[in-house]
Structure 1
Amino acid sequence: MLSSIFLSVIANISILCTVSYVFVKLIPKEKNYTLSLKKKLGMIGIASITSFILMLFSVTLPEEAILDFRQIILILLVYYFGPSVSIPTAFLIAALRLLLGINPASIHTAFVYVLLGLLLPYVSSKLTKRFNNYAVLSGLNVVCVAAISLNLYFLYDDILLSILICFSLLILSSIVVIAVTAFIEDLIKNLHLYLEEQEHAQMDYLTGLYNMRAFNKKWKMIQADKSITKTAFMILDIDHFKWINDNYGHANGNFILRQLAVILNVGAPDHELIYRVGGEEFCLILNHLSYEEQKEVAENIRVSVAGKEFLLENGAGINITVSIGLAASSQQKDMKKLFRLADRCLYMAKDQGRNQVIGATLESE
C-alpha cells in the first residue's frame, strides 16, 4: 500500500513538473504580453488532459474515491493565468472525473471542482495583495484540501478518517506545491533573463535608445504589417559634430548625444520607434501620420534642438543644430527604398545649408 502511494506521488510530481515546463513555454517571449485565445485554449486543453492523466495515477480509496494532485493544476492556472483559463479548466476537470465512472464519489468530486473553479480566483486575488507567491499558492492548496476533505467526510461519514486523509494530503500536496512553484519560478526567472539579454542586445548603451539591429528588425515588421499604410523615416544628423568632438572632446560629444536622445523622446509620437543608427545619426519611424503631420514632427524637433542650450561636462553651454531628411510613404511600402530616400534628403539638407528639414514621398520618386 505504501509503495503504491509513493509511486503515485512520484508520478504526479513528474507529470506536474513536465506540464509546468510546457505552460511556461507557452508564455510569449515578450516583455509585455497578452495571451491569445489560441494559447488560452491550448492551456485549457493541456491542463484538462493532464488532470485526467493524474487521475489515472491516483490513490484509490474506499467507495471508488480517488486521491491525487490535480487540484495543483487548478491552483497554478488561477495564480499564473487567471480565471479566464482556470474556470473553464475546472469545469472540464469535473466532467473528466465523471468519465471514470458515475458514482456518488465522482459526482461529489465534480461538484467540488466546479465550486473550486469559481472560488479560487476570488481567494487568490485577496491573498495576492498581502502575501508572496509561495504563501498564496500554499493558501490556495489549503482551500482545495479542505474542500476535498469535506467531500470525503460527506462520503464516508467518518470524521477521524477524513482528518487523517486531510492531514496526509495537506502535507504531501504542500510539499509538491512548493517544489513545483520553485521549478516554475526558476523557469520564469530564466525567461526574464533571456528577455533582458534580448533587450540589451537591441539597445544603444550610450543613449538608451534602440540600435541599428533593432531598427532593421522593426522596419521588416512594419513592411509585413498590412494595418500600417502610412509610414515615414526621419533621419537626423548633428551638424558639425566632428568639430564638437575635436574642440570639446569625445566625452562632451557623448554627453550631447545623450541630451539629444532626451529631446527625441519628448518630440517623437512613439518613443519606442527612436533609433541611434550611427555615430551622430538618429532615425525615427513615424506611423499612421499624414505627410503634413510627419513634417510638423520633424520641424518641431529641429526647432527644439536649435532653441536648447546643450550642457558640457564643465557646466558651460553650447548651441547645436540638426539636419533632417524625411521620407514618407502612403502607398508603396518598400522600406529599403524609403530609407535610401530619407538618407538622400538628409544629405540635401546638409548641402543646402544645414539646420533644416528636407522631405519627399516615395510615390513622387
Structure 2
Amino acid sequence: MSTIEAEVDALRSEALEALTQADGEAAREAWRAEWLGRKDGRLTLRLRALKDAPPESRAALGKSLNELKATLEGELEARRDSARADALSALSADAALDVTLPGRPQSLGRLHPVTQTMNDCIDAFAEMGFRVFEGPEVEWSRYNFDAVRIPDDHPARDMWDTIWIDTLIEGERQMLLRTHTSPNQIRVMEQTEPPVRVIVPGKCYRQEATDATHEWMLTQIEGLAVDEGVRMSDLKGTLYAFARRLFGEDRRIIFHHSYFPFVEPGVEMAIDCFLCRAGGSDCRTCHDTGWIEILGAGMVHPEIIENAGYDSSRYTGFAFGVGIERVAMLRWGIEDIRHFYQNDLRFLRQF
C-alpha cells in the first residue's frame, strides 16, 4: 500500500468510527463541523494543503481525498435518513397513526345565495318565453333618465342619490352607475323588432342609507314585453306565475298602485312578510306593514314606446323590475339584507 493510500485509509477509519459514536442530530452536526466544515474541517484543511504536496503525488492525493469527502458526506446523509425513519416509526407506534385514513376534505365553493336566486328567477321567466339581455352597468344619463321619462328636476338625478362618473363630456357629467335596469327597455327596443319579451339581470347602484331592507348595491331583473294587444291582465298573470314558481301556492300576494315615470299605470307587488306573515306587529323587516315589496311594474308608457321608435298606437307593453335580494330574503327567511354582502362564511354556507 502506498503512503497516500495509507494516509487516506487512516483518515477514513477515524472519521467513520467517530460518526458511529455520534448519537443524535446534535452529535452528528458536531461531527460534520469537525470533519467537513468549510472553514476548519479536518478534511477541508487537508484538501487546502494539497498545494504544498509534492507535484508527482498531488493529483493522486487530491483524487483520494475528494473520494473520501464524498464517502463521508454519503455516510452522514444515510445516518440522518435512518434516524428520521426511526423517529417516524416511533411516532406512528406511540400515536397509533393510521396512515390509511383519508386526508382532510377540501372545502368546496358554492354559488352565492343572490346568484342562486337570480338563476332561479331567470329559469322561471325563461319557461314563460323570456330571453336574457345584458346591458352596461356604467350607463349614459340619457338612457338612465331622459329616455325613461325622468325629468331634469327629478331628485334621482341629484349627486346624493346617484353615483356619477367624474369624467366631464361637453362640460357635463353624462355617465353614471345605473340606478335601475330600466334603461335597457330602450336599448332592447332599439335593437329588436316587436314582438319583444326579454329579461335583463344585473347590478344597480344608489347612494342610499342601508337598513334591514335597503342596500346601496342591489340586484335586479328587468322584464319587458311589447306586442300588439298586451294588457294589464297579461302583466298580472306573468307575475303571479313567477311568484307561485318561487314561493309556492300558499303565499299571499297583493298589488297596489304606485308611481314610476316609465309606466302608466304603475303598481308594486308585495308578498306577506315571512316573519309576521302579514300580521304587521312590531316587525323590523316589513316595518309593521305586514308586506315586503319585491317588484315594481306597470304598462310601458306610450312615450317610452315612441322613444324606442315603435308605433305606440299599435304596440303596448308591460315592464317590471324584481329586487333579487328581497326575493332571496322571502325564500329563506333572512331578516336583514346586509347579511348578503358581509362575507360571513357561517351565513353563506347555509345555502
Assess same fold via TM > 0.5.
no
Q: Which has the higher helix share?
A: 1
TM-score w.r.t. structure 2 length?
A: 0.25
Q: Which has the higher strand share?
A: 2
Q: Name which one, 1 or 2, has greater alpha-carbon Rg.
A: 2
